[in-house]
Amino acid sequence: MRTARQTMLAAASSRAAGVKQRADRPSQRRDGEGSKTARVTARLEGGQIREAGDGSGRLVFEGVASATDRGYEMWDFFGPYTEIMQGGAFDVTLAQTDPALDVPLVLGHDQMRRVARTTSAVSPLALSKTKEGLRVLAPSLDPADPDVDYARRKMDAGLLDEMSFAFRIIKGWWSDDFETYLIEEVDIHRGDVSLVGFGANPHTWGTLKASADAERAAASELAIQRARLDLALASVVR
């Protein structure tokens, strides 16, 4: 009986055999195929709530929407492959000024359920590149917003714990064996960062925090989740 790793390697070999010519290589990856918008989904770890701390009663969301330089599994019609968002993939798009970078924080990729936006003065959203990846910071969410309240309650209950972002692939290329797709540059202008129900990339995180005690609890939970991930990966390798 084949192990999971043997199955993945067999699928990669089939991929390479089926697309020998550079012109035959897939131009995008799974859910980006045939459209201008691609998505990467990722797990939120230790999601909580934190008050802004300035007496306003507003709430803070912080997370990493896409981890860089770390592989995660994707699938297309040839089978599984590894995708890597390279460290510099966000450099150009984050530097956009004319027009100003316009990205909302939404629920379920629903553009009518926006809770923050990079162009909003009332509920701003800040995006930046860190060593971990694409950092998302919404420092002033309205607790009276039904969507914010929904997200807070679901995250507190452990029912909403994953994140996704929508973007266009500007530059990307396959490894020679078609086992790995590397994304070199993306455009997130008029895309989104989103809280979602399911995700694929286990390397990202997000928090909607409540207090120092909750932050310590989150750190403990994060350590547990990482340990579980290490065990899962070890079992695949065997």
Least confident of 72-76, 125-129, 172-176: 72-76
Q: pLDDT at residue 45 above 60? A: no
- pLDDT of 202 higher than 60: no
Which residue(s) pair with 66 in the sheet? 134
Q: Give the distance from CA 189 to its chain's centroid.
A: 16
Contact present, 80 and 158 (Cβ < 8 Å): no
Among residues 217, 113, 201, the alpha carbon closest in space to that of 165 is found at 201
Which residue in the block uniquely carries the two structure tokens 């679901």? 154
pLDDT average, residue stretch 9-37:
54
Vertex 195: Cα angle to 190 and 197 (nearest 5): 125
Question: How many CA atoms, within 13 angstroms, populate the side-chain half-sphere of residue 41?
Answer: 17
pLDDT of residue 98: 93
pLDDT of residue 224: 55
Going by pLDDT thresholds of 50, 70 and 90, the confidence category of residue 138 is very high
CA distances from 117 to 140, 181, 226 (A): 11, 30, 31
5 pLDDT tier (thresholds 50, 70, 90): low
